[in-house]
Amino acid sequence: MSRTVDKLVMMANQIGKFFVPQRDGDPVAAIADHLQKFWDPRMRAGIIAHLAAGGAGLDGPVREAVGRLKKPSA
């Protein structure tokens, strides 16, 4: 993995570690929503491409959340 992808994976997993322990709502939806709202299109495109290539390193709920992201148009 490139350094940038490594970083995206680490950041996405960090987000997952916050939302997974929350006890109401769907943590996967919350992770996806956070990525959608705070990551610029090229970052989202990067993590989506990484998932398409196998998604090595992504924690389970994060992998699922990335899977729910729409491919950015830009």
Is residue 49 a contact point for another protein (CB under 8 A)? no
Can you tell me the distance from the alpha carbon of 67 to that of 62, in angstroms, rounded to the nearest whole number? 8
DSSP state letter for 34: H
Q: Which of 26, 34, 57, 67 binds another protein (CB under 8 A)?
A: 34
| 3 state DSSP class of 54 | coil
Is residue 37 a contact point for another protein (CB under 8 A)? yes
Can you tell me the distance from the alpha carbon of 14 to that of 8, in angstroms, rounded to the nearest whole number? 10
Q: Which of 1, 14, 56, 68 binds another protein (CB under 8 A)?
A: 14
* Chain positions contacting another protein, by CB under 8 A: 4, 7, 10-11, 14-15, 17-18, 21-24, 34, 37-43, 72, 74
